[in-house]
Every structure is written in C-alpha cells, then in structure tokens.
Amino acid sequence: MTEDKLLYTGKAKNVYQAENDDEVLIVYKDQATALNGKKKEHLPGKGTLDCQISALVFDYLIKNGIKTHLVKNISDHEQLVKKTTVFPLEVVLRNITSGSLVRKFQIEEGQHLAEPIIEFYYKSDALDDPFINESQIHALGVADKTELEYIKQMTVKVNDLLVPFFAQSDFDLVDFKLEFGKINNEIILVDEFSPDNCRIWDKTSHHSMDKDVFRKHEADLVETYRQVLQRLTTR
C-alpha cells in the first residue's frame, strides 16, 4: 500500500483509499492507546488480533441482519470497507456498571442494570470526546431525530445479538462503543468491534478480558486478546 493513498491515520488504524472510489482499506496497527492517546505503546500482534476479533463479530452481526461497512476481510490485519459519512458520535451501551459511569456517580462496579443505558459522546480528540445529550445532537446538527432513533434501535439490536454471542464463550458483555456512518441515505455500523472498544469479563472470575488490562496494568494485552480470539473461535 503506497503512502500517497493514506487518507487518515488513527490511534489504532490507518485508512487508505481503495481501488474502487467508494471503498477504503483499513489497516490495523500494533498500537495501544489509552487516556485519549496520552498512554501509548507499540504491541506486536495487537493489530491482527483486533482485526480478527472484529471480523468475527461483524460477520456474525451481518448474518443476523445488521448492515455494516464491511465489504471483505482482506487479510488478518486488513479489511475492505464502504466509504461512509461518519456521524461524529460515539454511542456507548452499558449492561453492567463499570468505567466512567462508576467514576461519575460513585456507584458499585459490576451491577447488572435492569435496562441497558445508552449514552452519546461527541467525537473530538481535541475536546476529549465530551458527553452530548439528544437535544444537543439535534440542535448542533450532528444527527436528526429520525437518524438518532434509528441509531438507538440499531445499538439495542447489536446488544441483543452480542450478549448471547459472548455468553457462549463465557463472557459477560459489560459495555461497548459503536460508531455509525451514512451512505446513500442508509445508516450502517462502521468502525470495529474488538476488546479495544468494549468491556468483556470472564463470567466465572469476573476478570477483564479487554483494554482495561492495559489501562489498569492488570495483564498482558496481546496475550489477553489472543485468549479472547481463541475462546470466540473454539466453541
């Protein structure tokens, strides 16, 4: 892949223009970041694990009727995807209390919520992804009411599919972050689904099997992700 085709370089991925104008190639990097990029490490093997886990999850979602940007898995660290206009929104769904929710409200971690919580964050590294509510989303033109309703419905559907998907491998799906894009007037799921953007806990030990092991220095990230991939593929 030549550098002149590089469209965007992110914290965990590079995005290149593909041969077809309406497609791009995502190349996963061997890099882990936390605290909005303030903590950064080169971790050989991470990119292929993220890509393979995300490919498994996206393939499962597609088989179950979720429209996504994925066109084709090209290699163990590259995916061909549709080019979309991405909403500058991070959509977080929580099933179990953890992370920023626990810090913000000083509540106990690990409580199963009666109903999932959906939260929105405005995607901006410069602003540290601030919390944004629904009326702000509409008023600032980030998404209109119909678009946001559809995004919420899709997020709940993804959760309904992924809770049993991870449970089959003895994981609790604690929370996750999704992103959405628009193409030809259709809203589809974009980005990735890997332990970088979700929390999964072992059902028995309740140990984290996601990026929290890196954020909290609890365990080796690459080894943890390798175990996640193995448990998702051998069941």
Where do contacts with ligand 5GP occur on this chain (CB under 6 A)? 90, 92, 98-101, 129, 175-177, 196-199, 211
Q: Are 5 and 20 in contact (CB under 8 A)?
A: no
Residue partners of 132: CB distance under 8 A and separation at least 6:
89, 120, 121, 122, 140, 142
Nearer CB in complex with ligand 5GP: 28/176: 176
Q: Are 152 and 134 in contact (CB under 8 A)?
A: no
Sign of dihedral through CA atoms 119, 78, 28, 196?
positive
Nearer CB in complex with ligand 5GP: 92/148: 92
Shortest spacing between CB 90 and ligand 5GP, in angstroms? 5
Nearer CB in complex with ligand 5GP: 36/136: 36
Which residue is at the shortest CB distance from ligand 5GP? 99
Nearer CB in complex with ligand 5GP: 100/168: 100
Shortest spacing between CB 175 and ligand 5GP, in angstroms? 4
Shortest spacing between CB 38 and ligand 5GP, in angstroms? 12
Shortest spacing between CB 40 and ligand 5GP, in angstroms? 13
Q: In the chain, at which residue ranges do the beta strands (DSSP E only) sit?
A: 6-9, 13-17, 23-28, 31-34, 39-42, 70-75, 78-82, 85-86, 89-96, 112-122, 171-183, 186-190, 198-202
Shortest spacing between CB 186 and ligand 5GP, in angstroms? 24
Q: What is the DSSP string of 75-97?
A: ETTEEEEE--EE-SEEEEEEEE-
And the tokens for 98? 């953890």
Nearer CB in complex with ligand 5GP: 56/178: 178
Sign of dihedral through CA atoms 227, 228, 234, 235?
positive
